[in-house]
């Protein structure tokens, strides 16, 4: 990290996030982040949903000479193909119906800073071609303009997809993959970082107590045992949410084991599959739609509206889930 060690941004990140790791696997990821920070190399962060890839991208930016400039984040799975392009490239007034004023895109906003493209595996092949050109030439035009603009940005991408498999399936371009992954850094899942678990529990407990203006004086041993042994498919995001809920459910400063089954039973009960009492006979397609709507809304609520995580756990693509969200009018 050289001359940038201990600057304000790094200290802020270290204060707000748990980075003081005892896990050799995560320590190695952090070491890579620090090493690449000084360079301009394109970085690809790989890891399951909720492992902290976005946090790692912020850490790289904070450790880099660009730390005092913008870090611009775009969640590629949150937009349709055309919306993503206007978000990235910006547009001129009148470029398309509805373009009443010209607008800067994220490339421009990231000038001299860092551009973080999250869920890069969800971009279409056409968008990948367009991105490849900008990454190679550092030049782009706003939609509706012929004037090229030169930009200087450091690119960080993240994915929880297996991009090599996507290349084999022809949904991800190989040339684009090589271009964005000059340095690939894996962020390990929480179940491979058991050394950090109980320190993290304390870290999130402290945060939750501040947020909820309460104190926890005792945690029953079975709760700690559960927290240590659980597998966390949703990784750090799930641990943080679990602690938040336990703090909310606590009484008189005590987190009791009885709160755990309630916590996990709610999920099972609310999914609505436990009942076989129906009120009337309806066409099967209406029943399917109704059940699917309720179930998907429940899943989205469970993961706090995180579409990437929901689609991973539902084992469908984010694009499929977005189509369902639009079709059924679901809330994220």
Of residues 130-159, those binding ligand ATP (CB under 6 A)? 158
Q: How far is the CB of 56 from ligand ATP (least distance, A)?
A: 7
Q: Which CB sits closer to ligand ATP, 158 or 255? A: 158
Of residues 30-49, those binding ligand ATP (CB under 6 A)? 47, 49
Q: Which of 28, 54, 141, 244 is the binder for ligand ATP (CB under 6 A)?
A: 54
- Helix pair 318-328, 307-314: axis angle to 10 deg: 110
Q: Which of 1, 9, 14, 17 is the binder for ligand ATP (CB under 6 A)?
A: 17
**Count of other CB atoms within 10 angstroms of residue 273:** 10
Return the H-helix or E-strand segment holding 81. helix 81-89
Q: Which of 237, 242, 243, 260 is the binder for ligand ATP (CB under 6 A)?
A: 237
Contacts 24+ apart (CB under 8 A), 287-295: 289/328, 292/324, 292/328, 293/328, 293/330, 295/271
61 binds ligand ATP (CB under 6 A): no
Size of the site for ligand ATP (CB under 6 A): 20
> Residue 71's closest CA among 9, 141, 159?
9
Of residues 253-292, those binding ligand ATP (CB under 6 A)? none
Q: Which of 44, 52, 310, 330 is the binder for ligand ATP (CB under 6 A)?
A: 52
Q: Which of 37, 236, 325, 330 is the binder for ligand ATP (CB under 6 A)?
A: 236
**Contact yes or no for 49/118 (Cβ under 8 A):** no
Distance set, CA 259 to CA 37, 255, 264 (Å): 43, 7, 9
d(CA 264, CA 266): 5
Specify the pairing of strand 103-104 against strand 90-91. antiparallel
306 binds ligand ATP (CB under 6 A): yes
Q: Which CB sits closer to ligand ATP, 151 or 201? A: 201
- Give Cβ neighbours of residue 296 (< 8 Å, ≥ 6 apart): 310, 314, 321, 324, 325, 328, 330
Q: Which of 23, 179, 309, 325 is the binder for ligand ATP (CB under 6 A)?
A: 309
Q: Which one-letter DSSP state was computed for residue 187?
A: P
> Residue 82's closest CA among 69, 67, 99, 70?
99
Q: How far is the CB of 113 from ligand ATP (least distance, A)?
A: 18
108 binds ligand ATP (CB under 6 A): no
Q: Which CB sits closer to ligand ATP, 151 or 157? A: 157
Q: How far is the CB of 242 from ligand ATP (least distance, A)?
A: 12
Q: Which of the ranges 3-11, 136-144, 232-240, 284-292 carries the binding residues for ligand ATP, by CB under 6 A? A: 232-240
**Contact yes or no for 121/166 (Cβ under 8 A):** yes
Q: Which of the ranges 144-152, 223-231, 234-242, 254-262 carries the binding residues for ligand ATP, by CB under 6 A? A: 234-242
Binding site for ligand ATP (CB under 6 A): 17-19, 47, 49-55, 118, 158, 160, 236-237, 240, 306, 308-309
């Amino acid at each position: 990290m050289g001359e940038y060690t201990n600057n304000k941004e790094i200290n802020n990140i270290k204060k707000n996030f748990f980075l003081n790791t005892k896990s050799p696997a995560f320590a190695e990821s952090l070491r890579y982040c620090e090493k690449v920070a000084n360079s301009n190399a394109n970085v690809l962060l790989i890891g399951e949903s909720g492992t902290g890839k976005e946090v790692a991208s912020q850490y790289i930016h904070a450790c880099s000479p660009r730390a005092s400039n913008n870090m611009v984040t775009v969640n590629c799975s949150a937009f349709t193909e055309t919306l993503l392009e206007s978000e990235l490239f910006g547009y001129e007034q009148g470029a398309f119906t509805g373009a009443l004023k010209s607008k800067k895109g994220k490339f421009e906003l990231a000038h001299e800073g860092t551009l973080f493209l999250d869920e890069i595996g969800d971009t279409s092949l056409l968008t990948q071609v367009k991105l490849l050109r900008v990454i190679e030439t550092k030049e782009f035009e706003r939609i509706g303009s012929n004037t090229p603009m030169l930009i200087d940005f450091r690119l960080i991408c993240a994915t929880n997809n297996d991009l090599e498999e996507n290349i084999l399936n022809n949904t991800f371009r190989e040339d684009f993959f090589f271009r964005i992954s000059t340095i690939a850094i894996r962020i390990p899942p929480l179940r491979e970082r058991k050394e950090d678990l109980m320190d993290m529990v304390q870290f999130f407990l402290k945060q939750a107590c501040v947020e909820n203006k309460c104190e926890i004086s005792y945690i029953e041993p079975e709760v700690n045992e559960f927290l240590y042994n659980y597998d966390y498919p949703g990784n750090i995001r799930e641990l943080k949410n679990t602690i938040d809920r336990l703090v909310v459910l606590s009484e008189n400063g005590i987190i009791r084991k009885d709160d755990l089954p309630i916590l996990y039973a709610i999920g099972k009960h609310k999914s609505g599959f436990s009942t076989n009492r129906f009120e009337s006979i309806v066409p099967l397609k209406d029943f399917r739609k109704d059940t699917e709507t309720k179930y998907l809304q429940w899943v989205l609520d469970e993961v706090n509206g995180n579409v990437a995580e929901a689609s991973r756990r539902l084992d469908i693509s984010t694009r499929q889930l977005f189509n369902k969200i639009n079709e059924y009018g679901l809330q994220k």
